[in-house]
Structure 1
Amino acid sequence: MIRNALAATAIAASLIIPAGAADLTTREIENGFKRHATLTQLHRWYLLYEEPTYGIANQLDILDPYVRVVSGLGEANGHEEYAERLNQIPTTWKNAHDVKSTEVTIADDGGVSLTANITYLNQGLLPDGKVRSADLTYTTKLTPADGVLPKFTAIKIAQNSEGTAEAFESQYGNNRMRALVHYWLALIEDPSRDAEPVREILADDFVLDFSSGAISDFDGFKTWLAGPGSAVRASTHKIEGFAQRKLDDGTYEVVMKFDWNGILPNDTEMLARTRHTWIVEDDPTARFARIKRMGVEVLEPFRPKEG
């Protein structure tokens, strides 16, 4: 038990999470990695609209081949029709998507329903450089696919309001970094404990500065995932106070706090709270940005859940 507790302390201090995690049910903890995988795909959906160099191949990667997309532009069925619809959007437009709220429902068969409310900004449609603003609701369905990430099978976009904004504010950095964070969590929480997919999101010279010690090579990460990272039967993380900024050298700094919920093999539920500071490098043509450095500070140590 002590050995498991010490190992679980390491995972709590090296991962991510928001306030209120203590209120999660066992099912919510066990399905946490699926929720993060779903939110990964949501934030990836916006990237091509915000950064055209992201590329159509990366966009189609999140869509089922027979996806149905319904929006103000009409209806598109399948990859080919959707790609043709994308070509109708002027490349001179600037677009931003600020996700305000999400609701994720995971069925017993692994299917996912996701609803998201966002504020959309566009510069280019209106004359004189004016910025169009619209509140939109996305109602979507996703299905399990190879690996941890599901694919969209249906996306319906409804407009709730329309107006103008004083200025255009890019959301690319926000959506790009959130996609990375959610994907990291989905992979770490996935009970399969498969380290190989994580290789894609680690920079060549990465350093993971966990409280249990720094890791700077992939073999070290695999050892951590198979040891401390596997000390809990299930775990999940909520993100609080997320903030990102682009640095002068082109990298991003991401700062956030996490409330962690874990379940030990003996079904004891555990809690912890950490602060993470990441340095991230971004090639916008790649599926994901990559972690160069991950620093972790323990704010509230690993402890059993009361009650």
Structure 2
Amino acid sequence: MRASSILLSIALLFNLAYPAAAQLTEAQIRNGFKDHAAMAQYYRWYQYYERPDGGVANALDILSKDVTITSGLGTANGQEEYKERVAKLPATWKNAHHVQSAEITHGEDGKLTLAAKIIYQNQGMLPDGAVRQADLSYTVEMVPGEDVLPLLSNVLIEQDSDTTVKSFQDAYAENRLRSLVHYWLALIEDPSRNPEPVQEILADDFSLNFSSGAITDFDGFKAWLAGPASQVAASTHVISNFAVEDLGAEDYAITMDFDWAGITPDGVELIAKTRHTWRATNDVEERFARIKSVDVEVLEPFRPRGN
């Protein structure tokens, strides 16, 4: 079944928060992998609320040990207090978090601050199946983790409005798959070019059909990452036209456009645009969904920025 029109509209609104590749600053290009890593973690924040059967371990995995979380429920200090809080949430509730915008600022010592606006929906809190809807503002502080993924160290959630609506719109698939895409981009853009973490997000029989040729095993991926993907000193991708199709049995199709911007070792700035069609498979208990296949269509070939 196709993703609902409301989700597609939300996806398009979200894309407006980011400039096209041609307008990115040099700092935005060089920091792009950090931004994608932060967004991968931010979308993971919602996974436990939307599919608690995945287990709380994945929720704790994104938090620093001394995290502080403040919302209408009060303040939780540390992972154990947070774990106790979410354990009390009724299992019958259905929750959805539709991200409207997100903006990341970079601080000192690798710290990040993410400011986001979302539409939250809940079915189960109100009587007679009524759907509660609220506009929420998030301020999320993140600190460096042991790998490319940062950890959430402070989360402030503020309510801006509260109403009821006619229908509940699930957001799990979109949030889950956006997290996957952002993590993939963080890993392939990371200047360290470490291929090992990518194994976590590749299905057993994956196929990456890039313009440079098809890749069907991990050795091939490592060669691609060390070769064609490493021809620039820095690069990033801007995601647009993101859409999800539920194929059943936890399989999904994703279509999206990537505006790419890169900087060569001698300082030349390049841009390009591609359309990606992915197949992904999901195990709710794993940290991320996994990529089964990627097909790429070149919309605009590589060229110097400004040309």
- Provide the rounded CA distance (Å) in 2 between the counterparts of 1:201 and 1:53: 20
1:102 equivalent to 2:102? Answer yes
User: 1:140: how far off?
Assistant: 1.1
User: 1:250: how far off?
Assistant: 3.1
1:253 equivalent to 2:236? Answer no
Output one character per residue of 1:118-164: Cα deviation in whole Å (capped at 9) or x when no partner.
00000000000000000000111000010100000000000000001
SS at match of 2:110: coil
- Provide the rounded CA distance (Å) in 2 between the counterparts of 1:108 and 1:294: 36
CA RMSD of aligned residues (A): 0.9
Contact 2:40 2:183 in 1 (8 A): yes
Matches within 5 A, 1:117-266: 117-266=117-266
In structure 2, the residue matched to 1:6 is none
Contact 1:62 1:151 in 2 (8 A): yes
1:63 equivalent to 2:63? Answer yes
- Provide the rounded CA distance (Å) in 1 between the counterparts of 2:135 and 2:98: 10
Contact 1:67 1:153 in 2 (8 A): yes
User: 1:248: how far off?
Assistant: 3.2
In structure 1, the residue matched to 2:268 is 268
User: 1:39: how far off?
Assistant: 0.4
* Alignment length (residue pairs): 290
- Provide the rounded CA distance (Å) in 2 between the counterparts of 1:31 and 1:90: 39
- Provide the rounded CA distance (Å) in 1 between the counterparts of 2:250 and 2:172: 14
SS at match of 2:66: strand
1:83 equivalent to 2:83? Answer yes
Contact 1:19 1:259 in 2 (8 A): no
Misfit runs of 4+, over 3 Å? none
- Provide the rounded CA distance (Å) in 2 between the counterparts of 1:176 and 1:119: 16
User: 1:108: how far off?
Assistant: 3.9
SS at match of 2:162: strand
- Provide the rounded CA distance (Å) in 2 between the counterparts of 1:184 and 1:27: 20
Output one character per residue of 1:211-244: Cα deviation in whole Å (capped at 9) or x when no partner.
1110000000000000011100000000000001
- Provide the rounded CA distance (Å) in 1 between the counterparts of 2:93 and 2:79: 22
Output one character per residue of 1:242-278: Cα deviation in whole Å (capped at 9) or x when no partner.
0012103430000000100000111000000000000
SS at match of 1:232: coil
- Provide the rounded CA distance (Å) in 1 between the counterparts of 2:290 and 2:248: 17
TM-score normalised according to structure 2 size: 0.93
Output one character per residue of 1:43-97: Cα deviation in whole Å (capped at 9) or x when no partner.
0000000001221111000000000000011100001000000012101000000
Contact 2:250 2:283 in 1 (8 A): no
TM-score normalised according to structure 1 size: 0.93
- Provide the rounded CA distance (Å) in 1 between the counterparts of 2:249 and 2:134: 33
Contact 1:35 1:104 in 2 (8 A): yes
In structure 1, the residue matched to 2:286 is 286
Contiguous gaps of at least 5 residues in structure 2: 1-17
The residue identity in structure 2 corresponding to 1:126 is: L
Contact 1:279 1:293 in 2 (8 A): yes
In structure 2, the residue matched to 1:15 is none
Contiguous gaps of at least 5 residues in structure 1: 1-17
Higher relative contact order (Cα pairs below 8 Å, separated by 6+ residues): 1
Query: CA distance change for structure 1 residues 139 and 19 in 2, over 3 Å: closer, same or farther?
Result: closer
- Provide the rounded CA distance (Å) in 1 between the counterparts of 2:22 and 2:98: 27
Give the percent of matched residue pairs that are identical in Structure 1 and Structure 2: 57
SS at match of 1:38: helix
- Provide the rounded CA distance (Å) in 2 between the counterparts of 1:88 and 1:55: 14
Pick which of 103-112 and 162-171 moved more. 103-112
In structure 2, the residue matched to 1:7 is none
Output one character per residue of 1:21-57: Cα deviation in whole Å (capped at 9) or x when no partner.
1111111100000000000011000000000122111
The residue identity in structure 1 corresponding to 2:117 is: N
In structure 2, the residue matched to 1:3 is none
